[in-house]
């Protein structure tokens, strides 16, 4: 497993890897189905709703697949072998590799299984890249909005408000003029802003400008900015699938068509609107995160506005045929992928030579019946000792002398009876011996076959369980496997108990996963903190270190565990508190957290002083910040 996926459990990593693979055919099928239905629809608004619904399905499909694979405990990454493989269902990559190495005459695991960690890592890197790109775009857009936008003039503002009332739009909308755009655009979600560039105000006639403004107001009325953000999120998470980008492009095109229809229906004169679109196409410059009026294919929009039939209308049948073919290909690919993930049996365990596994021919034939569908001829009697007549369904096995030391007899003596051939093969492969079973029973455990295999694969020995029980823990089989996977051993538990902790098993596993070590506990104790297990987990998750605690306490503050967690979440640092103290404020922990949440910084305090405010309390500063009294119009 690679470094980026170390924080994922093996089962989660396999489920995630197979989820990404399954979405290849799921995404194609959803896009093809959406293409078929959209081709049959005439209205742009209907096509838009269908496309958005298909994008929601694309987002939901991998989520549902991941949770199904995780909850079922049968991740499709677990096996890619023929039915001759009798391994148990073990949701760890290490278990699968052990089975593959020790199965001898059985089929090897699919080579694609080894590539799953690399696939997940590549996906994580892609998500990180697209997330940073989107975040950078948001920050750039916000900076430009704050620095290079001014309130609209009284004439333009009156025209915009009149058009807003005609649309029946009652939301609070800010209208600003700018020079960094060439076409009107809408930015913001809960507090939308309509930006009117100087080029549009001076280069369009008043009627054309009204049409364009109505187009942008239609985006706000239809809540298109929220859908646009959802598109960006889906594109970020499912960036590797071309169908996602194709569907997102269709959504943006149909969105512009819908707003064009609103503009023409409200103001009329489609010819002037077409001229305005042509002019703005020459000015095309708008951020991808904004709703701009010159977005989308120009020629298609002009044809629609003027009521003309576009030149590509004859290709509708070809598009429908292509969508059907893509849907068929997706279903075939999905069936093939499911066949790889869940292979069908081709060989039965009864066809494997028991002698190769060291079994005796005197074993009870009822303990490993062969399938009736694969009858085998009766074995020839040995000259030394005639063998009894065999059942027509019993595999042909070379008879051997019966001894009391057979593997099956040993398992029966250890308390395991009525085992199938599959279970016997799997246990023999993994090295589950009668002595191992008796050792577990001496520790009070009575695991079934699957639990035995899991514990053996993870190396949970009777000595390991004895050491845990000597420390007051009484884990069951599943908990033992989980503890062994995460590396929880007696040394780790003893170190925590020496630190005064008495965590339960679930807390121990969570603490180990989050990296809570005895040294970390001691470092917090040295600072006077005595957090319990849940508090330690929360502090470790939020990155509360001993140095952070020391720096805060050096300022004369004595936060508790919950307060340290809250401070870390809100980004309250020692330097931030020092800045407040340097400004003359004697703050407690709650004041510091609240001030940080409200954005009261050293610079904000200096701005208040420049405005003539003196001797303000921290409460007054917070009120000034909440009300935005000191903000310039461009900052609001």
pLDDT, tens digit (0-9, with 9 covering 90-100), for 386-411: 433 343 333 443 443 434 468 888 88
Cα 532 to Cα 22: distance, rounded to the nearest angstrom: 42
Cα 256 to Cα 253: distance, rounded to the nearest angstrom: 5
Indicate the SS3 state at residue 469. helix
Local confidence band at 511 (pLDDT 50, 70, 90 cut-offs)? very high
Which residues, 6+ apart, have CB-to-CB distance to 99 below 8 Å?
A: 85, 87, 90, 109, 429, 430
Please report the pLDDT score of residue 309 as a whole number. Answer: 56
Which residues, 6+ apart, have CB-to-CB distance to 636 below 8 Å?
A: 174, 628
- pLDDT average, residue stretch 146-151: 74
Question: Per residue in 421-473, pLDDT tens?
Answer: 889 888 999 999 999 999 999 999 999 999 999 999 999 999 999 999 999 99
3-state secondary structure 218-274: HHHHCCHHHHHHHHHHHHHHCCCCHHHHHHHHHHHHHHHHHHHHHHHHHHCCHHHHH
Question: Per residue in 186-224, pLDDT tens?
Answer: 888 788 888 888 877 777 888 888 888 888 898 888 888
- pLDDT average, residue stretch 341-346: 47
Local confidence band at 495 (pLDDT 50, 70, 90 cut-offs)? very high
Please report the pLDDT score of residue 480 as a whole number. Answer: 94
- pLDDT average, residue stretch 270-290: 67
Please report the pLDDT score of residue 400 as a whole number. Answer: 39
Ordered by where they begin, the domains of the chain are 3-123+318-341 (no CATH), 148-231+252-294 (3.30.2010.10), 357-379+389-491 (no CATH)
Range in 107-121, 349-363, 513-527, 534-548 the model is least confident about: 349-363
- pLDDT average, residue stretch 486-499: 92
Residue 375, pLDDT > 80, answer no
DSSP-assigned letters across all residues of 186-205: EE-SSS-EEEEEHHHHHHS-
Torsions phi, psi of 55, nearest 5?
-65, -35
Cα 185 to Cα 207: distance, rounded to the nearest angstrom: 17
Residue 264, pLDDT > 70, answer yes
Indicate the SS3 state at residue 291. strand
Mean pLDDT of the chain: 76
Residue 159, pLDDT > 70, answer yes
Of the candidates 456, 457, 460, which has an alpha carbon nearest to the alpha carbon of residue 468?
A: 460
Long-range contacts of residues 333-342, Cβ cutoff 8 Å, at least 24 apart: 333/24, 333/25, 333/28, 334/22, 334/25, 334/26, 334/29, 337/21, 337/22, 337/24, 337/25, 338/76, 340/80, 340/110, 340/112, 341/18, 341/76, 341/77, 341/80, 342/76
Q: Please report where in the chains the tokens 């903190």 appear, as a residue.
A: 529
Cα 237 to Cα 280: distance, rounded to the nearest angstrom: 33
Of the candidates 70, 34, 9, 28, which has an alpha carbon nearest to the alpha carbon of residue 334?
A: 28
């Amino acid at each position: 497993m690679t470094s980026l996926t170390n924080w994922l459990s093996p089962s989660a990593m396999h489920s995630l890897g197979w989820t990404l693979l399954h979405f290849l055919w799921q995404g194609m099928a959803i896009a093809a189905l959406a293409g078929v239905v959209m081709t049959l629809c005439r209205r742009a608004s209907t096509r838009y709703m269908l496309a958005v619904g298909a994008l929601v399905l694309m987002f939901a499909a991998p989520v549902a697949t991941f949770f199904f694979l995780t909850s079922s405990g049968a991740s499709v990454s677990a096996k890619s072998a023929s039915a001759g493989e009798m391994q148990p269902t073990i949701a760890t990559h290490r278990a699968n590799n052990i089975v593959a190495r020790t199965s001898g005459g059985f089929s090897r695991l699919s080579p694609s299984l080894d590539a799953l960690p690399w696939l997940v890592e590549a996906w994580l890197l892609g998500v990180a890249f697209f997330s940073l790109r989107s975040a950078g775009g948001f920050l750039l857009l916000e900076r430009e909005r704050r620095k290079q936008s001014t309130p609209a003039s009284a004439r333009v503002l009156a025209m915009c408000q009149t058009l807003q009332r005609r649309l029946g739009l009652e939301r609070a909308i800010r209208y600003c003029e700018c020079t960094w755009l060439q076409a009107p655009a809408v930015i913001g979600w809960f507090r939308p802003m309509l930006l009117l560039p100087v080029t549009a105000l001076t280069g369009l006639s008043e009627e054309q400008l009204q049409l364009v403004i109505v187009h942008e107001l239609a985006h706000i009325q239809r809540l298109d900015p929220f859908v646009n953000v959802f598109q960006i999120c889906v594109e970020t998470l499912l960036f590797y699938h071309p169908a996602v980008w194709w569907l997102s492009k269709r959504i943006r095109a149909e969105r512009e068509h819908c707003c064009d229809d609103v503009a023409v229906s409200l103001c009329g004169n489609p010819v002037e609107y077409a001229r305005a679109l042509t002019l703005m196409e020459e000015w095309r410059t708008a951020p991808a995160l904004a709703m701009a009026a010159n977005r989308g294919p120009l020629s298609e929009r002009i044809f629609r506005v003027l009521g003309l039939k576009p030149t590509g209308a004859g290709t509708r049948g070809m598009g429908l045929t292509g969508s059907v073919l893509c849907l068929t290909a997706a279903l075939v690919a999905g069936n093939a992928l499911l066949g790889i993930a869940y292979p069908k049996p081709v060989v039965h365990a009864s066809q494997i030579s028991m002698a190769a596994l060291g079994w005796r021919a005197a074993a009870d034939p009822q303990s490993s019946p062969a399938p009736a569908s694969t009858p085998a001829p009766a074995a020839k009697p040995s000259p030394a000792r005639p063998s009894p007549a065999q059942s027509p369904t019993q595999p042909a096995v070379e008879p051997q002398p019966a001894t009391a030391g057979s593997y099956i007899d040993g398992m029966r003596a250890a308390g395991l009876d009525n085992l199938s051939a599959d279970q016997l093969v799997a246990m023999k492969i993994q090295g589950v011996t009668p002595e191992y079973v008796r050792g577990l029973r001496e520790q009070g455990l009575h695991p079934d076959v699957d639990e035995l295999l899991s514990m053996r694969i993870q190396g949970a020995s009777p000595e390991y369980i004895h050491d845990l029980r000597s420390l007051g823990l009484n884990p069951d089989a599943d908990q033992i496997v989980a503890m062994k996977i995460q590396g929880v051993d007696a040394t780790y538990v003893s170190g925590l108990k020496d630190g005064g902790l008495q965590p339960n098993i679930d807390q121990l596993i969570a603490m180990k996963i989050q990296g809570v070590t005895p040294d970390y506990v001691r470092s917090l104790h040295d600072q006077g903190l005595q957090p319990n297990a849940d508090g330690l987990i929360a502090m470790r998750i939020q990155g509360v270190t001993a140095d952070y605690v020391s720096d805060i306490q050096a300022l004369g503050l004595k936060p508790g565990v919950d307060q340290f967690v809250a401070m870390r979440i809100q980004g309250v640092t020692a330097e931030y508190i020092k800045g407040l103290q340097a400004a003359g404020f004697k703050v407690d922990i709650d004041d510091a957290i609240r001030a940080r949440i409200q954005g009261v910084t050293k610079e904000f305090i200096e701005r208040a002083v420049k405005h003539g405010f003196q001797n303000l309390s921290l409460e007054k500063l917070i009120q000034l910040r909440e009300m935005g009294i000191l903000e310039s119009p461009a900052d609001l």
